[in-house]
Chain A
Amino acid sequence: MAQNFQYCVAECWGKGFITHEDASKFQISGFPGNVWQVPAFNREANVWINGVAGVRKTKNEAQAIVDAITQAAQAEWDNIPADDPRKIVGNPNYRPRPVDIALPE
């Protein structure tokens, strides 16, 4: 299977973490656990990962990080009583159950 993306873990410190120059050259997408997805085999993306001190992760490693956080949030949601406003559709405090995220290759 062709590898379209690469992943890293880096904490977004705010201003300057992603610049307009970065964003205009390649797409950067954030996921739970400070997981960031950028194009594979892309020189500019590699420079960005190094610049933000990103710790490279395989797709499976990144998926495991995302899954752990998502599953913890799902478990928290599942433990909310059924009559809690957070579970009542239409209530201003309603929150949908966090969905699974499948990272692409």
Chain B
Amino acid sequence: MSTYKQIYGYAIKDVASDPSADEGQLWYNNASYAFKLAALSTVGSWASGGNLNNAVYGQAMSGTQTAALSFAGSRYPLPVTAATEAYNGSSWTAVNAMNTARQYLAGCGTQTAALAFGGFPPATVATNTTELYNGTSWTTNPTGMNTSRANLSGVGIQTAGLAIGGDRLPTTPRTTGAVESWNGSSWTNTTSLNTTRRNTGAAGTNTATIVFGGFIDSPNSVRTESESWNGTSWTNTASLPQARWNMGSAGAQTAALGFGGSSSPAGAPPNNSTINWDGSAWSTLPGTLATSRTRMSGTGTYPAALGAGGYGIPAVTSATEEWTGPGVVVTKTVTTS
């Protein structure tokens, strides 16, 4: 006599919450009364993540989509902060604060081995201060960057980072294209950007980076330029589809994302669009942030990025959004349509 299993195959599991599944797995979610399927995503999209405990903008981030760190920034109209929060893939937890409160800093590394550098302390005089996080607490490095600056970009890891461009206020001219390399204990000047600018997006490592967009003054303009770093020199690449600055960014030199930001130096509303670098060209992706914002921060990879905080309309936001790129296994509901 035939059994159910012989005729229909294995029984479908009945679960209360969606499991972490491999492509092709099917289950029944008895909480949502729906059959669910693990399938490859065909388009990239942003999903809501756990909200930050405190709305913040102009902060820095490190780590991955499921193990990230957000540090410093501003809680406008409250003061510039040194607060740090850690993300576990679903919620943020307050951890030990940095030693120096600041906004518009840069960061890189992982959740448990992060690097923070530059920024504006409350006095709005650009700092060169560098701090290291060991998963528990922050330590100020004895020496800082050679050029004090804020509104810079940072990529790499705690033992091999890169500080790119920035704003030297109150030094004039404010904008610098200076680039410094971090070896785990000190900064060394290296080749400057071809286009001097600040407030850029950036993704990559100490030896393989893409830098894009940003702002220059004299005359004030938001930029479309993109440059690639090979560890020795910068090469101009294809331009962005639209000038943009103050965006979040994530990914690698050959597969990067830019999201949010704005396209005009003063008064322009924040952006919600996502741009993608595929190693040869920039394009605008259909997936948009649910919350338009500028001065947000990002971390992670092209297929799995994380964006949090930022300045929306009309206020600072605590919203976190998680990017999943095409070709990643996601949960889908089985429908009759």
A and B bound?
Answer: yes
Report if A73 contacts B (CB, 8 A): yes
Stretch of B21-29, B128-136, B284-292 on the interface side: B284-292
A18 to B89, CA, bound (A): 15
- Residues of chain B contacted by A99 (CB below 8 angstroms): 267, 269, 313
With A and B bound together, what is the CA distance between A24 and B41 in angstroms? 8
Residue of A nearest to B104 (CB): A92
> Contact at A20–B45, with CB atoms within 8 Å?
yes
- A23 sits at the interface (CB 8 A): yes
How far is A89 from B267 in the complex, measured between Cα atoms in Å? 10
Residue A104 at the chain B interface, CB threshold 8 Å: no
Q: Are B291 and A92 in contact (CB under 8 A)?
A: no
Across-interface contacts of A72 in B (CB, < 8 A): 314
Q: Does B237 contact A (CB under 8 A)?
A: no
When chains A and B are docked, how far (Å) is the Cα of A95 from the Cα of B313? 11
User: A12-B48, A22-B47, A85-B124 provided; 16 other pairs, C-beta below 8 A?
Assistant: A12-B51, A14-B51, A14-B91, A17-B48, A18-B46, A18-B47, A20-B45, A21-B331, A23-B47, A24-B287, A27-B288, A30-B319, A74-B314, A91-B124, A92-B167, A95-B76
Interface size on A, residues (CB 8 A): 39
CA of A60 to CA of B287 in the docked complex: distance in angstroms? Answer: 27
Contact indicator A32/B313 (Cβ below 8 Å): yes
Does A4 have its Cβ within 8 Å of any Cβ on chain B? Answer: no
Q: B50 touching A14 by the CB < 8 A rule? A: yes
Partner of A92, one of B124, B217, B269, B332: B124
Docked Cα-Cα span, A74 to B333, in Å, equals 43
Tell me, rounded to whole Å, the shortest Cβ–Cβ distance linking A20 to chain B: 5
B43 at the interface (CB under 8 A from A): yes
* A residues 55-105 in Cβ contact with B at 8 Å: 69-70, 72-74, 85, 89-99, 101
Q: Which of B17-58 contact A (CB under 8 A)?
A: 41-43, 45-51
Contact A96 B48 (CB under 8 A): no
How many angstroms from the CA of A96 to the CA of B269 in the assembled complex? 9
Contacts of A43 in B (CB 8 A): 337
Whether the Cβ atoms of A30 and B76 lie closer than 8 Å is no
Inter-subunit contact A18/B313 (CB<8 Å):
no
A12 to B318, CA, bound (A): 10
CA distance A69 to B272 in the complex (A): 20
B residues within 8 A CB of A31? 313
Cα–Cα, bound, A21→B46 (Å): 10
Q: Are the C-beta atoms of A70 and B313 separated by less than 8 Å? A: yes
Confirm or deny: B324 has a beta carbon within 8 angstroms of a beta carbon on chain A: yes
Q: In the complex, are the beta carbons of A97 and B267 less than 8 A apart? A: yes
Give 5 closest A-B pairs by Cβ, nearest first: A73-B314, A23-B45, A98-B314, A96-B267, A17-B48
Q: Are B290 and A19 closer than 8 Å at their CB atoms?
A: no
Query: Is B67 interfacial (CB-CB < 8 Å)?
Result: no
- Report B192-208 CB contacts with A as 1/0, cut-off 8 Å: 00000000000000000
Q: Chain B contacts of A73 at CB under 8 A?
A: 313-315
